Amino acid sequence: MKYKPHEYQVYATEYILNHPIAAVLLDMGLGKSVITLTAIFDLTLDSFLVRKVLVIAPLRVARDTWPAEIEKWDHLKGLKYTLAVGSEVKRKTAFMERAQVYIINRENVEWLITRSGIPFDFDMVVIDELSSFKSHQAKRFKSLMRVRPKVKRIVGLTGTPSSNGLMDLWAQYRLLDMGQRLGRFIGRYREDYFVPDKRNQQVIFSYKPKPGAEEEIYKLISDITISMKGTDYLKLPDLVINEVPVKLSEKEMKTLDTMKRDLITNVKGEEVTAANAAALSGKLLQMANGAVYDDHGTVLYIHDRKLDALEDLIEAANGKPVLIAYWFKHDLSRIQKRFEVEVLSTSDSIKRWNDGEISIAAIHPASAGHGLNLQAGGSTLVWFGLTWSLELYQQTNARLWRQGQKETVVIHHLISKGTIDERVMKALNDKNNTQSALIDAVKATLKEV
């Protein structure tokens, strides 16, 4: 296919070419893969400034999206890639091949660097979904930091750099510039820009930015960062966000309220307990959906209210494909008992969805949130159960609401009234404020081109 880049895509490619360190905050659907691959082609096969490129991505994106993009565009012909996913034998074989681009899933970064025995001789690294390196304590972060001084050029791609607040930025930029802008130590970064927020005596649970800290942080990273929102550069389809209220009976609400108050409740003669606040949140989310795991891992059924609401939505779709986002395994099993549903978990199932062969599909946000193009298969998404993660929430929505979607996208949220569902929905909306502030602060202006 002939590549006819938008003006913003030309700008972003040039930015990568001209900045050895580049944080490219591209909104979902803006084509970050082809933008980056165009730059890689220039660097490896035109200017010869780069010899070997390591692309790190979520598993499904590494396996499906990057190879498909390389093979799709005419102007990338000649760019050879090898895919290092699967068994250890397959991965080692892939790294023995001669290529310009080596693609690996992020879960195997630590293996590659510390256990594979393969020399790390990549002079350029591309991290697709840089936000997955936001934890400085993760093995993948520590491993990559060990070899970071060997890398001449590095590109971080993401649409959601600070989904849980500005504290997320430190590890990502530490990896990019080795601590030049936000400091080499997380403690110093925290001390300089944050103050304790939620705490219990000496135990601090969260931090909030000091007055003026956001602006100062944005200024520090602005010289290696560009940001682009899809709504600024693309004619995206209309988006309809809908909350579908689900009303529980008094008896069902009493079960949830008892759990919330006492951290213990009784469901059909079996005890369900929560050891702490985090466990309680998970139990309450399950119960709002209609079932819960007891203390022995057995599924206890409470209600079918959301299944009934889902049935109404599927019927109202009148034959149009419906994509369902689920969180807990028992949610999926109950959905599959009620409807003929296929889980989008393989390349084949994704292809058949996009070819219009699947009428009702299900995805888990954690495994299908990043990078997958699902817009050809439908335009209706139903959140059966919600997630606290703004990043997974936004990325999952963007599987349908993106460039190439030809219909109005409708996103339904099944909200059990009076339950934790309402708090999660509010939290997702509130978290977006910080995310939007970062994006706006470093937004690229095409006038500079």
**Positions in the chain short of pLDDT 70:** 28-29, 163, 231, 234, 269, 368-371, 432-449
CB 14 within 8 A of CB 449: yes
Q: Classify 25 as helix, strand or coil.
A: strand
Measured between alpha carbons, how far is 428 from 442 in angstroms, rounded to an integer?
Answer: 22
Determine which helix (DSSP H) or strand (DSSP E) holds 252, and give its type and residue range.
Answer: helix 250-262
**Distance from the Cα of residue 53 to its chain's centroid:** 23
CB 250 within 8 A of CB 304: no
Half-sphere exposure of 391 (CA within 13 A, CB side): 19
- Residue with tokens 């580049």, as numbered in its chain: 22
In which region does residue 341 sit, left (phi positive, over 0), alpha (psi from -120 to 50) or beta (all else)? beta
Q: State both tokens at 140.
A: 């993948």
CB 135 within 8 A of CB 165: no
The pTM (predicted TM-score) of the whole model is 0.69
* Residue-level pLDDT at 448: 47
Q: Judging by DSSP bridges, how do beta strands 207-209 and 194-196 pair with one another?
A: antiparallel
* Residue-level pLDDT at 437: 63
Q: Do domains 7-234+436-448 and 239-432 have the same CATH topology?
A: yes
- Residue with tokens 């009076």, as numbered in its chain: 418
Measured between alpha carbons, how far is 305 from 415 in angstroms, rounded to an integer?
Answer: 10
Measured between alpha carbons, how far is 61 from 67 in angstroms, rounded to an integer?
Answer: 9
Say which DSSP state 249 is in: P
Q: Strands (DSSP E) along 106-254, which ranges?
A: 124-128, 153-158, 194-196, 199-200, 203-204, 207-209, 225-228, 239-246
Cβ-based burial of 251 (10 A; exposed 0-12, middle 13-18, buried ≥19): exposed
Domain ranges, ordered by start, for the chain: 7-234+436-448, 239-432
Considering only CA atoms, which of 244, 245, 229, 234 is closest in space to residue 375?
234
Which CATH superfamily hosts domain 7-234+436-448?
Tandem AAA-ATPase domain (3.40.50.10810)
* Residue-level pLDDT at 245: 87
- What is the DSSP track for 86-128? SSHHHHHHHHHS--SEEEEEGGGHHIIIIIS------SEEEEE
* Residue-level pLDDT at 434: 66
Q: Say how many C-beta atoms besides its own lie within 10 A of residue 217's C-beta.
A: 23
Q: Say how many C-beta atoms besides its own lie within 10 A of residue 362's C-beta.
A: 23
Q: Say how many C-beta atoms besides its own lie within 10 A of residue 142's C-beta.
A: 15
**Distance from the Cα of residue 418 to its chain's centroid:** 28
Backbone angles phi, psi at 278, to 5 degrees: -65, -45
**Tens of pLDDT, residues 180-217:** 999 999 999 999 999 887 777 777 777 888 999 989 99
Topology (CATH) of 239-432: Rossmann fold (3.40.50)
| Residue 323 amino acid letter | L
Residues 6+ apart with CB under 8 A from 270: 294, 298, 300
Question: CA 194, 195, 200: angle at the middle one, nearest 5?
Answer: 135
Query: Partners of 26 in the beta sheet?
Result: 228
Measured between alpha carbons, how far is 165 from 278 in angstroms, rounded to an integer?
Answer: 19
Measured between alpha carbons, how far is 170 from 189 in angstroms, rounded to an integer?
Answer: 7
Residues 6+ apart with CB under 8 A from 272: 259, 264, 265, 266, 283, 292, 293, 294, 295, 300
Determine which helix (DSSP H) or strand (DSSP E) holds 299, and give its type and residue range.
Answer: strand 299-301
